Amino acid sequence: MAISSSVRRQPTPESSAASSPSSHGGSENLRRRTLHGGALLGIQRIVAIFISALGGIALARLLLPELFGLYTVAWFVVNLAVALGDVGLGTVLVQRRTIDENQHVARAFTVGLCVGVLVAGLVWGLAPLAVSLLGLDEQSAGLIRCLAVLALFAAFRMPPAVLLERRLDYRALTIADLAEISTYYAVAILTATAGLGVWSLVIGAVLSKVVSVGLLWKMAGWSPRLQWQWKEIGVLLRAGMPIQGACLSVTLRDVSMPVIVTPWSGVVGVGYLNWAGTLAFLPLQLVSLAGKVLLPSLARLQGDAGRFALATEQAINRVAVFLFPAILFLMAAADPLVSLVYGSAWVPAVPALYLYGVAAAVGGLSNLCIHALYGLGRSREVFWLNVIWAALVWCLSLLFVPWWGFTGFAAASACAAALSISVLWVLRRTVPLHLSRAIGIPFCSAAVVAALLYVACQLFVRDLFGLALSGALALVCHLLLAAWLAGPLWRAGVWDDLRTALGARL
């Protein structure tokens, strides 16, 4: 792990500006920097989606569903432990109007490192118990113990990521994220080809974190420093607990999959769900990047409800233009895509893919609203909403899985996602947000074209070339139809956003 040994940097003009709503010429400059950051992250996500798609295809051809399921169960055990140890300090530091890089970040790093060491030790020691409770074979304990090191990486990643986000330095974050995903798939594919089986996924996960964290430390230019002050750490922990609770509730929701599905469908069922979820939720990387850009920017607009709502609506609209076709087109072309690209071994997971597509379409928009609530400092509301959604997934999964097997879990996720739109009601209590105005035209356009794509796939698509051509034509038709329906003002606004994003100084 490459940890920078350079002298700690004092807050630069850029980082100081990121902490003040009036810096860099006011709101127009904030919009310009936000759009430019979004453009950088958008390019990164497009490349990341491309790498993930190709890497996922290669691994699906090399590894059996049972191995994916075994790795998924082990990863969920570790992820639950990491979520238990996450105290939400990173989000708290991003939300603050001003921070001292030499004190606040150092104290947060100290707490995170102590918690990371504790969590990694607990995972290592309790791995055999987890394996016994889940009914896995003995080698799973070794998988869990090796993945336990991810708890330490979470602690080391937090300080540089916070500093780079506050400086709106999305170029550095883009480089680190691309390096991580590229390393993971490159290592996993090479080791899977060498016959290492499920261990190829573990080795890829660990080495990709080493590369990513090392790059972040290098580019942030902040040296590790341990500092402890009870009063300040207490303030940070109190602010971070609702955020940590929200993240933990999401993790507990996801853990329901291996806990409930494994006894009824075995690890192969978990493997099918992991594959279907990975593919269906791939477009949600667009939501992730939008949230990453929105959070520090919206936090500076908390005092102006009108501008806050307008910025949120525009972000949702721009994401919806690409999110809806990505998900609906995937669902429309699922049958030929799976049989021609991934292989017949994954055909049983197609119904789960449809259901996860519904969850992704609705849940993606809900996640953007969640980021808006974080921007308003409403972390307690986010916590309780996530608790309710997690409880819904557990209850519905316990009801559906005994009837429908592993597909029942995907159905439970889709139903819970449909109810997650209640976050809009919470958000509108503070800001005058109009979701229908933001998503109406993108959804209608994507739905019409997706229906035509489905008919084309059933009647004409017989090979990979036909599938690729149909998908490309569908995307062009959607963009043209959406632009025509939205009218000249929308087209002018999108063009202005593009010029601002691409023309901003790096």
One-letter amino acid at 340 equals: L
Q: Distance between CA atoms of 172 and 288, rounded to whole angstroms? A: 16
Q: What's the confidence (pLDDT) of residue 110?
A: 80
Q: What's the confidence (pLDDT) of residue 209?
A: 92
Q: What's the confidence (pLDDT) of residue 18?
A: 35
pLDDT band at 395 (very low <50, low <70, confident <90, very high): very high
One-letter amino acid at 409 equals: F
pLDDT at 474 over 80: yes
pTM: 0.74
Burial of 328 (C-beta count, 10 Å sphere; 0-12/13-18/19+): buried
- Mean pLDDT, range 295-300, rounded to an integer: 62
Q: What's the confidence (pLDDT) of residue 504?
A: 46
- Mean pLDDT, range 300-326, rounded to an integer: 80
- Mean pLDDT, range 228-256, rounded to an integer: 67
For 375, how many CA atoms within 13 A lie in the half-sphere containing its CB? Answer: 30
Please list the alpha-helical segments (H only) found in 420-487: 423-428, 435-459, 464-486
92-132 tens-digit pLDDT: 666 565 666 666 677 777 877 887 888 888 889 888 888 88
343-379 tens-digit pLDDT: 888 999 999 999 999 999 888 888 888 878 877 777 7
The mean-pLDDT minimum among 140-154, 353-367, 408-422, 484-498 falls in 484-498
164-202 tens-digit pLDDT: 877 767 678 888 888 999 999 999 999 999 999 999 999
pLDDT at 19 over 60: no
φ/ψ of residue 216, rounded to 5: -65, -45
Contact residues for 204 (Cβ-Cβ < 8 A; gap 6+)? 183, 184, 185, 186, 187, 188, 191
pLDDT band at 155 (very low <50, low <70, confident <90, very high): confident
Q: Which residue has the tokens 């090796």?
A: 146
| Cα angle 456, 357, 497; round to 5 | 85
pLDDT band at 238 (very low <50, low <70, confident <90, very high): low
Residue-averaged pLDDT of the chain: 79
Long-range contacts of the stretch 395-404 (C-beta < 8 A, 24+): 397/256, 397/257, 397/260, 397/261, 398/260, 401/260, 401/261, 401/264, 401/265, 402/264
Are the CB atoms for 472 and 462 separated by under 8 Å? no
Are the CB atoms for 327 and 357 separated by under 8 Å? yes
Residue 103 CA to chain centroid, in angstroms?
29
- Mean pLDDT, range 320-338, rounded to an integer: 92
pLDDT band at 246 (very low <50, low <70, confident <90, very high): low
Are the CB atoms for 82 and 151 separated by under 8 Å? yes
Task: Report the chain's terminal Cα–Cα distance, integer Å.
Answer: 28
Residue 412 CA to chain centroid, in angstroms?
20
Residue % of the chain over a pLDDT of 70: 76
